[in-house]
Structure 1
Amino acid sequence: MSEAALACALLALDPGGLKGAVIRGHADAFLATLRHLAQRRFHRVPPHIGIDRLTGSIDVAATLKSGTPVHDRGLLADADGLILLTSAERLPLDKAALIAAAMDHGAPFTVIAHDEGIDDERAPLILAERVAFLLDLTAYEALDIDISAARLLLPSVAIPDRITEGLCQIALALGLTSLRPAVMALRAARAAAALDGRREVDDDDAALAARLVLAPRAVTYPAAQEEEPEPPEPPAPQDSPEPNDEQDGAPTPQELADRLLDAVKASLPAGLLAALEKNLRQPGSRAGAGAVSQKAGLRRGRPAGTRQGEPKNGARLALVDTLRAAAPWQPLRRRGNPVRKGVHVEKQDFRIRRFKEKRETTAIFVVDASGSAALHRMAEAKGAVELLLADCYVRRDRTALIAVRGKQAELLLPPTRSLQRAKKSLAGLPGGGGTPLAAGIEQSMLVADQVRRAGGVPLVVFLTDGKANIARDGTADRAVALRDAEAAAKLMRLAGVRTLMIDLSETRTGPARKLAEAMGADYLPLPHADAARISASVNAMMQA
């Protein structure tokens, strides 16, 4: 039985105490097992759910109709089962904070955050620190188990003081200063004992809890210390009493902590263990990447008129326009309800304000770093990126750089607005070799898709003469390479990505012009390109 399957059984056994889990990987089998064992239903919560739907609000239309306040209870008040946060890495921080606050106040639901992020995208930390398990379901194996007897046994399971002290010591040794991990580790150990049919937690239960709850959260690991020779013990007096054996050979809390530390060490990957032994904190996760992508079209920005809709999820009621829409209907409504005084406003009259807000733009440079002109092109691309980044902080825009050379396209600079990071990444980049242009176009579409998923607007800028000579499969065939590049360009046009083709060739009728037409790109012939002209052209498109 995999430890992820054990964690599923423990969570089903004590959902209120263990609070939930953050899961990564294919989750269907895990969720099906958890639903079966816990005998609870799932409430699916997408990242774009409205705040009013979460916390509840006054139903304005029903209130106006009845004349008395009518409250719409939110999901957090009604949910009493399992809350499944889909695409949890995109959940905005304000919504994650509302869920966390409900958990802190004893809400009767269990949170399962399905983290579907890539690279450094992670579920919000504010939720991850409030659930017991951080699980990778890559090696998950479904289990067939009956936990009904364990559920009856759980309230009577006791935890010896030495195990409580041992788990608290191991939590501190791993750099966990919050009480939550230690408390949840104790709950997990207690559930493990009940699952095994015992009324008292033993060392094996504590070791399992340390591996499942504490190890994934470790931020430090005690470095190995050289053992110093102990001084010889003085001889015991002849009349000293025999040591009692009240613990029946049970280890002390310190000895138990050492054993638990060994159990944690065995479950950590070698690379992670090496970093932790140097007391290096793990790279910070992006707490809710979706917070960046929140579009405030109904909340802030420049006014852009009104539209019919309800004042929910932060939308602002346009009072004058609402009254204007209701005015023509007043005689008819008064005849239908003569008892009611004042202006008769109904749901269909509501008008809400619209706002226009500029979204973050990411300029993705795809640079042909092959052939004899590679050094010149790379130098101008570096200069253009640095010039653009000088304005990015004010506009909150970003840039990225993809180099096309050899047999592949390489993302040299992920989307960033940090000038220091860009200079460090761009310094001393090599050039030369073939031109796998199709690979470069496909790589740019992948980066553009990531930008769109984060709520931004991608702009792909090609610096090339369009003379592809490396096919998609890596073979050196100019005719096939050009066909592959044209096919990739047509896919980019279908994807609707804004593109700018800067043609570095001496003629305007070469393959770069044809690729620009295939992908629907703006075309700019610039055979004698310089960083300033490139930066000015890209700036104009980013601000359009």
Structure 2
Amino acid sequence: MSAQADSWDRAALSVGLLLFAPRYLAGAVIRMRASPDRNTVLDSLANLSTRRLHPAISDEQLFGGLDLSETLKHGQLIENNGFFNNPCAIMLTMAERCGPELAAKLAHQLDRHAGHCFLALDEGAEPDEAAPPALTERLPFHIAPEGKAPAGWAPVPAGTAPVPPREVACTQGDLEALTMLAARFGIDSLRAPLLALRVARAHAGMAGRNKLHAEDLEAAACLVFPQRATRMPAQEDAEEDAPAPPETETGTDAGMQNTSDLPDGDMLVDAVKALLPADLLAGLVPAGTLRSSQGDGAGQKRKGNRRGRPLPSRPGRLDGRSRIDLVATLRAAAPWQPMRRAAQPSAGGLLIRPSDIRLKRYQEQSDRLLIFAVDASGSAAVSRLNEAKGAVELLLAQAYAARDHVALVSFRGTEGEILLPPTRSLVQTKRRLASLPGGGGTPLATGLQQAAALATQSRGKGLTPTIVVLTDGRANIALDGSADRTHAAADAARMARVICAQGIQTLTIDVSKRPQPALKALAEQLGGPYLALPRADARTLTGAVSAALEA
């Protein structure tokens, strides 16, 4: 059987189990792009009568809230029903765009075991475009079949005399087998073996069995563990993890009770290992090194009352600049109308108090500006400039989704120069970086001064600047242009403290053959991380900058 056909068989089993016990299993992640094959899978789940949930849904729609018109009409508090008032099957569309706030709210509903069944429809195209982990780790199935659906594909049906999953008996040995298997694949969440146990019980119940067999545990492990694995199990793990067999008396009742129908541990390991994703090791990167795919900008978040994404309104006083949230104000005033009407029977209209006033709030996320301050002095100038040019071009190629701007400051001889003003234009960048001068002294302080001035100017335009210093640390030209190493180091330290005091994010990259303690000390004065990359090429620089700034 081919791998593609096998993936569709697993999808058929997952969908069949989900149709058999939707509330008990709680849902699945369906990672498929829009296509006729995805429609086939979704059509097979039509019996669940799903309700669609958009990632931008408001809290009032999600949990219910005050029905303003009915409350004002009847003079008493009347609330709307929310999405979660009654157990239902919920399809989260565009799950890869689900923010952490909504993911936490949905995860809370799953932890409450309120009887909901979640189908997270993940349409991500890249590895870092995926449904949030807070949600996926609580859903047992990851349905992502490969290739085209086989002719006549359909979910696996239940047997003629199914047993409810909660009535399927399990033993301590079943739990231990699933837990040890999860540990061998580096799965540190205890939810995984618990979800696998639920799947095993559903698998047994669908076949009409009232206790778990080896095939139930194997099916559960193959459906739950592969997408959660973080490492390949070593061969020696079997010997290290296998407990010594207990000494029992033959023929006794205790010996009969310890007899188990569990599958051999290596068989389970091999079954799960055969289904591991091909890019498992490539996907294991430190947390925070992947760029967000939501395209919301990488700069600082700033709250205001004029523009940006709406935030929940807050109580406040009108000052001539803030904008009033009329609906929220009426909601705050509505419950108090009967009491206020009784206190002021002659007053007409709505009775609004200053404590009812709610002001609008917005959150605007600024674009980020990466300012490369490159040391173009000495014999290695050409190499460093080529590395910087390549890194700038690579970062700009990724800048459109994250709204990054890039600028380049070069310092050599006795002065610093802005070679590339802030831009997102790759064509303009290549034209300006075609030929750059190099050689001469190292005016590090002047380069920092130019970068700081550019950062301050960019802040006034709404950008969030980050200075990336690329140098070998051997400063020998002071701010006044004199060739004095002592004064040059003191001036560089002083400019570093100025940049740190302004709260500008920095990253110092040491490109000398050996790490320079003086440059590490300068990075501490700048208040940013220090990286020693003696043989860095453009791609290494790009990866280091992205990982350091996103961590």
Q: Paired residue for 2:214?
A: 203
1:170 aligns with 2:170: no
Are the aligned partners of 2:48 and 2:89 in contact in 1 as well (CA < 8 Å)?
A: yes
SS in 2 for 1:111: strand
Q: Offset at 1:148?
A: 5.8
2:194 is aligned with 1:187: no
SS in 1 for 2:360: strand
Alpha-carbon separation, structure 2, partners of 1:223 and 1:324: 63
Tell me if the contact between 1:503 and 1:526 (Cα under 8 Å) persists in the aligned partners: no
* 2:77 paired with 1:66: no
Contact 2:104 2:134 in 1 (8 A): yes
Q: Look up the match of 2:525.
A: none
Separation (CA, whole Å) in 1 of partners of 2:162 and 2:370: 59
Contact preservation (8 Å) 2:297, 2:365: no
1:100-151 CA distances to partner (integer Å, 9 max, x unpaired)? 1111112222112233332423322111111102332334636324736568
| 1:107 is the counterpart of 2:114 | yes
Tell me the residue number matched to 1:123: 131
> What amino acid maps onto 1:459 in structure 2?
H
Q: Is the 8 A contact 1:35 1:42 kept in 2?
A: no
**What do residues 252-301 of structure 1 show as CA deviations (whole Å, max 9, x unaligned)?**
65x633321221122225664xx59xxx966548899478839999x962
Q: 1:195 and 1:215 mapped to 2: Cα distance?
A: 22
Aligned-partner Cα distance in 2 for 1:114–1:364: 39
Identity percentage of aligned residues: 28
The count of residues paired between Structure 1 and Structure 2 equals 392
CA distance in 2 between partners of 1:160 and 1:290 (Å): 44
Q: In structure 1, the residue corresponding to 2:392 is in which secondary structure?
A: strand
How do 1:253-332 residues align onto structure 2 when only pairs under 5 Å count? Answer: 253=262, 256-269=264-277, 272=280, 283-284=286-287, 289=292, 293=296, 301-304=303-306, 314-316=312-314, 320=318
Deviations 1:521-540 (A, max 9, x none): xx999976997768866874
Alignment of 1:238-257 (within 5 A): 253=262, 256-257=264-265
Q: Does 1:213 align with 2:203?
A: no
What do the CA deviations read for 1:460-492 (whole angstroms, capped 9, x no partner)? Answer: 6699xxxxxxxxxxxxxxxxxxxxxxxxxxxxx
Change (3 A) 1:182 1:502: closer
Hey, what's the Cα distance between the residues in 2 that align with 1:30 and 1:6?
Answer: 16
The question of whether the paired residues in 1 share the 8 Å contact of 2:137 and 2:191 is answered with yes
Q: Secondary structure at the match of 2:48?
A: coil
Q: Which amino acid aligns with 1:401?
A: V
Q: Is the 8 A contact 2:368 2:404 kept in 1?
A: yes
Q: Which residue, 84, 88, 95 being the options, matches 2:95?
A: 88
The alignment partner of 1:304 has SS state of coil
1:96: how far off? 0.9
Q: Compared with structure 1, are the counterparts of its residues 151 and 114 closer, same or farther at alpha carbon in structure 2 (3 Å cutoff)?
A: farther
Q: Amino acid of the residue matched to residue 45 of structure 1?
A: L
**Amino acid across the alignment from 1:52:** E
Letter in 1 for 2:405: L
Question: Equivalents in 1 of 2:127, 2:217: separation in Å?
Answer: 32
* Residue aligning to 1:41: 49
Shift of 1:83: 1.8
Distance in 2 (alpha carbons) for counterparts of 1:285 and 1:305: 28
Aligned equivalents of 1:300 and 1:177: distance in 2?
36
TM-aligned CA deviation for residue 88 of structure 1: 2.0
The answer for the alignment partner of 2:350 in structure 1 is: 344
Contact 2:203 2:216 in 1 (8 A): yes
Q: Residues 343 and 185 (structure 1 numbering): CA distance in 2 closer, same or farther, change over 3 Å?
A: same
Change (3 A) 1:194 1:344: same
Partner residue of 2:17 out of 7, 10, 17: 10
Structure 1 alignment gaps of length 5 or more: 229-239, 307-311, 327-336, 368-374, 386-399, 403-410, 414-442, 452-456, 464-496, 505-511, 513-522
Tell me, yes or no, if structure 1 residue 450 matches structure 2 residue 458: no
CA–CA distance in 2 between the matches of 1:539 and 1:5? Answer: 58
Does 2:45 align with 1:76? no
1:151–1:358 distance in 2 versus 1, CA, 3 Å = farther
For 1:153, the aligned partner's letter is V
How far is the alpha carbon of 1:377 from its aligned partner? 7.6
Distance 1:53 1:342 in 2: 32
Matched residue type, 2:221: A
Residues 67-120 of structure 1 show CA distances to partners (whole Å, capped at 9, x for unaligned) of 222222322334x33222223232221211111111111222211223333242
* TM-superposed deviation, 1:33: 3.6
1:516 maps to what in 2?
A: none
**Which residue does the alignment assign to 1:334?**
none
2:157 matched residue in structure 1: 147
Q: 1:178 to 1:136 in 2, by over 3 A?
A: same
Shift of residue 217 of structure 1?
1.3
Verify the 8 A CA contact 1:176 1:219 in the aligned structure 2: yes
What is the aligned partner in structure 2 of residue 132 from structure 1?
140
RMSD (Å) for aligned C-alpha atoms: 5.2
> How far off its partner does 1:458 sit?
3.7
The one of 392, 396, 401 aligned to 1:401 = 392
- Rounded to whole Å, the distance in 1 between the matches of 2:65 and 2:185 is 43
C-alpha distance in 1 between matches for 2:161 and 2:400: 46
Contact 1:19 / 1:111 at 8 angstroms: preserved in 2?
A: yes
Contact 2:226 2:276 in 1 (8 A): yes
Change (3 A) 1:57 1:130: same
> Contact conserved, 2:161 with 2:208, CA < 8 A, in 1?
no
Distance (Å, rounded) in 2 between the aligned partners of 1:70 and 1:529: 73
Pairwise CA distance, 1:184: 1.4
TM-score with structure 2 length normalisation? 0.56
User: 1:458, 1:205 → 2: CA distance?
Assistant: 50
Counterpart of 1:293 in structure 2: which amino acid?
D
Change in 2 beyond 3 A, CA 1:529/1:543: farther
Alpha carbons 1:461, 1:500 under 8 Å: kept: no
In structure 2, do the counterparts of structure 1 residues 284 and 137 end up closer, same or farther at CA, with 3 Å as the change threshold? Answer: farther
From the superposition, tell whether residues 377 and 210 of structure 1 become closer, same or farther in structure 2 (CA, over 3 Å).
Answer: same
CA contact (8 A) 1:462 1:502 kept: no
Contact 2:222 2:275 in 1 (8 A): yes
Q: Distance in 1 between matches of 2:288 and 2:20?
A: 30
**What is the SS of the residue equivalent to 1:134?**
strand
Partner-residue secondary structure (3-state), 1:21: strand
Q: Are 1:98 and 2:49 matched, yes or no?
A: no
Where does structure 2 lack aligned partners over 5 or more consecutive residues? 1-7, 240-248, 330-340, 375-379, 410-422, 440-446, 462-551
Residues 269 and 94 (structure 1 numbering): CA distance in 2 closer, same or farther, change over 3 Å?
Answer: closer
